[in-house]
Structure 1
């Protein structure tokens, strides 16, 4: 019946398609047998047309054709590179990639036009080769794991990643589907990244252990080189420069990081980060802290008499020119390491898997370099401070009650200025690349020297009116020098940082006020006491006692003065607020020192 014929038509079409598909597969099997020797025959118009027909048949026909052709095309590879063959080992891995490159060229020449372009046969052959190779390499490396040395492993990795790069340039990766590739490192520009090289990841511990050993040897070489070559030479371009060894260290780190991330961005990167941390600390300890000059508690064995006879150009600082340059070099190097370690942390976080980012933390290592910087600045401050100590001692030992006329600045002032002019330009020039730390040095020196100067000022007793005038002149001279300290001896005059100027003005103005109070007549007593409270805003009895000692008043006179002083103090309001306001009006030396320390910390944070 016509109806039944029409009803059976789709079935007949399907049967015809199935038969046609089987015929096409048979034709391909005959042309490219999966067993036996490959026939010398090549593509034909019949097979090309058959592929076009297969395109519209059941997709499984197309998949079978592709699968059988690729399997037949790679059959020779499996024979040539069997596990028991000499060429199968890692040292001859290049031969694997050379073989497939020849096969791809051979395919293009012989069969390029036989298969439809949209089948991407060349890429499919390459991808299947990668899958087979990854499996075969993993198998042979498991068997011969003890024979894998780091040089051999790195050689195989390098050649493999180069090959994966070649694939990325040649193919789009459009045949790679979900599940085709193992989980691979982030490499957005290369869809083939890890398609073979993933097999090396289980053996990366060999690489990590090797880097641990290499970095240990590198640090030892840095130590030996420093001992052999000595510190950077002063008066050369090397002075204050970053030690070249730290650049070498970070260049090596970068090489390791790139090398490791090309293969894995998982746990091996975390293991490598731990190794990096270990040797950053070792570098800080052995190369930087370990080479800072050692200080002694003495001030160089200088006597007051020799100090007062100093002439321009004499050297009394504990540290030599070479040592000052070395400290500055170590400081500059620590700053470079601090900044570069921060960048290293960021790069590691970029390269590691997202799930592992929180395990990358180099804060401890950055803190270590910050400590080296602080230690270096403190050494520079202590050195200049100690060089000025004998001059301050000389000041306090002078017979100020016997001074008959006011002249030029006293010898002790000349001595302090000499030391400042000797040290500061050297430090400034050698810290030219890191101005903020030079500013920190200036601030720390001012915070150390000025309170010490005031302490010695109180020891100058008794003082005559003329003696106080001379001291006031000396104090003003020191104040001007300190204000100019950041640019002293420089052809380029820069305005001193406001944070530094504020400290000098506040501290030295207090010294000037002390002397102005000393110069004021102590009669009438009420006027003297009120003048003291007004000028010094200091309600501390001990400070007032020191002023009276400087004036040379007798104990009986001092007792009356102290009693009057207590009576004339501003009466604070009752309650805790009162004590607070009194504290603000009358800072003790301890409070003053505490405020300076707080200010110093604040400045340091802002810098």
Structure 2
């Protein structure tokens, strides 16, 4: 996904088919997911889905802020790419031939990718209404994110100040830091599974809320996923992030 930050979105001349980095994501997942689905038991595969959902969506959103500049044509192309990536992610349970617990995963993916779609719609909005559009589509956004959006739209510092002043007057005080990483800084690591929002009935939704819940369910199901073995699986999952040749390493860094 890092390749999307290297696309010249500010000088794109026309909207076409999905971009090359989207094809790369599709190729990695299409070749890897069927293998994982055949090797992992349902409880392991569900945990993999939860980790993937909590990583890809937020990283995609943050990568938009890491682009240099995004023109109207570039934002339209990126919006098309966002919808394509969402479709690819939603097809993963079917690719793995394990769809029994996919409802919670699909809901989470749709919610996270809709944030990226909302961000791009803000970038596409006219300058005189960009503040109102941002408040409406991203009500939990921060002044720092909003300023970065103005930069992505190509506004000069002198033109940004009056818009920022009006935005700050109409916005409540926000204390939390922006989720968008400044340009040039490394991407923040994916949030751990324990930060995935809890669902009132995880068993019926097929969504694992925390590692403790995973361990409890694995032991209760009696599918060979004993607590010790599953902890080892968690450790291997975390260690896989540091591999330089793994397919999912390429998914985030290519």
Q: Indicate whether the TM-score tops 0.5.
A: yes
Equivalent of 2:138 in 513, 525, 536:
536
Over residues 312-339 of structure 1, what are the superposed CA-to-partner deviations in whole Å (9 max), with x where a residue is unaligned? Answer: xxxxxxxxxxxxxxxxxxxxxxxxxxxx
Q: Which residue of 2 aligns with 1:3?
A: none
Q: CA RMSD in A?
A: 2.7
Tell me, in whole angstroms, the C-alpha distance in 2 between the residues paired with 1:587 and 1:513: 19
Tell me, in whole angstroms, the C-alpha distance in 2 between the residues paired with 1:445 and 1:461: 27
Tell me, in whole angstroms, the C-alpha distance in 2 between the residues paired with 1:566 and 1:452: 27
CA, structure 1 residues 423+460, in 2 after alignment: closer, same or farther (shift >3 Å)? same
1:469 has 2:76 as partner: yes
Q: Secondary structure, in 3 states, of the residue corresponding to 1:589? A: coil
Tell me, in whole angstroms, the C-alpha distance in 2 between the residues paired with 1:403 and 1:506: 28
Q: Which residue of 2 aligns with 1:517?
A: 122
Q: Secondary structure, in 3 states, of the residue corresponding to 2:165? A: helix
Q: Secondary structure, in 3 states, of the residue corresponding to 2:140? A: coil
Tell me, in whole angstroms, the C-alpha distance in 2 between the residues paired with 1:417 and 1:587: 32
Q: Which residue of 2 aligns with 1:589?
A: 179
CA, structure 1 residues 596+561, in 2 after alignment: closer, same or farther (shift >3 Å)? farther
Equivalent of 1:479 in 86, 104, 109:
86
Q: Which residue of 1 aligns with 2:18?
A: 409
CA contact (8 A) 2:79 2:120 kept: yes
Q: Secondary structure, in 3 states, of the residue corresponding to 2:91? A: helix
Q: Which residue of 2 aligns with 1:554?
A: 156
CA contact (8 A) 1:417 1:481 kept: yes
Shift of 1:602: 2.3
Tell me, in whole angstroms, the C-alpha distance in 1 between the residues paired with 2:119 and 2:168: 19
Shift of 1:448: 1.5
Tell me, in whole angstroms, the C-alpha distance in 1 between the residues paired with 2:193 and 2:138: 16
Tell me, in whole angstroms, the C-alpha distance in 2 between the residues paired with 1:418 and 1:496: 24
Tell me, in whole angstroms, the C-alpha distance in 1 between the residues paired with 2:100 and 2:144: 37
Q: Secondary structure, in 3 states, of the residue corresponding to 1:508? A: helix
Shift of 1:478: 0.3
Q: Which runs of 5+ in 1 are unaligned?
A: 1-391, 572-581
Tell me, in whole angstroms, the C-alpha distance in 2 between the residues paired with 1:546 and 1:595: 28
Tell me, in whole angstroms, the C-alpha distance in 2 between the residues paired with 1:509 and 1:407: 21
Structure 1 or 2: more helix by fraction: 1
CA contact (8 A) 1:421 1:489 kept: no
Equivalent of 2:33 in 415, 420, 424:
424
Q: Which runs of 5+ in 2 are unaligned?
A: 181-190, 199-207, 218-254
CA, structure 1 residues 505+587, in 2 after alignment: closer, same or farther (shift >3 Å)? farther
Give the alignment of 1:262-301 within 5 angstroms. Answer: none
Shift of 1:595: 10
CA contact (8 A) 2:123 2:130 kept: no
Over residues 269-309 of structure 1, what are the superposed CA-to-partner deviations in whole Å (9 max), with x where a residue is unaligned? Answer: xxxxxxxxxxxxxxxxxxxxxxxxxxxxxxxxxxxxxxxxx
Shift of 1:496: 5.4
Shift of 1:588: 4.7
Equivalent of 1:460 in 59, 64, 67:
67
Tell me, in whole angstroms, the C-alpha distance in 2 between the residues paired with 1:551 and 1:596: 35
CA contact (8 A) 1:461 1:551 kept: no
Shift of 1:463: 1.0
| Number of aligned residues | 196
Shift of 1:502: 2.3
Q: Which residue of 2 aligns with 1:318?
A: none
Shift of 1:598: 4.5
Tell me, in whole angstroms, the C-alpha distance in 2 between the residues paired with 1:602 and 1:410: 33
Over residues 468-512 of structure 1, what are the superposed CA-to-partner deviations in whole Å (9 max), with x where a residue is unaligned? Answer: 00000000000111111122264xx73652221222111100000
CA contact (8 A) 1:468 1:515 kept: yes
Could you say which structure has the greater relative contact order, defined with CA pairs below 8 angstroms and 6 or more residues apart? 2
Q: Which residue of 2 aligns with 1:42?
A: none
CA contact (8 A) 1:459 1:550 kept: no
Tell me, in whole angstroms, the C-alpha distance in 1 between the residues paired with 2:36 and 2:143: 41
CA contact (8 A) 1:540 1:588 kept: yes
Give the alignment of 1:30-49 within 5 angstroms. Answer: none
CA contact (8 A) 1:539 1:569 kept: no
Over residues 511-569 of structure 1, what are the superposed CA-to-partner deviations in whole Å (9 max), with x where a residue is unaligned? Answer: 000000001111x2xx3211101101124111112211211111111222211111111
The structure with the largest alpha-carbon Rg is: 1
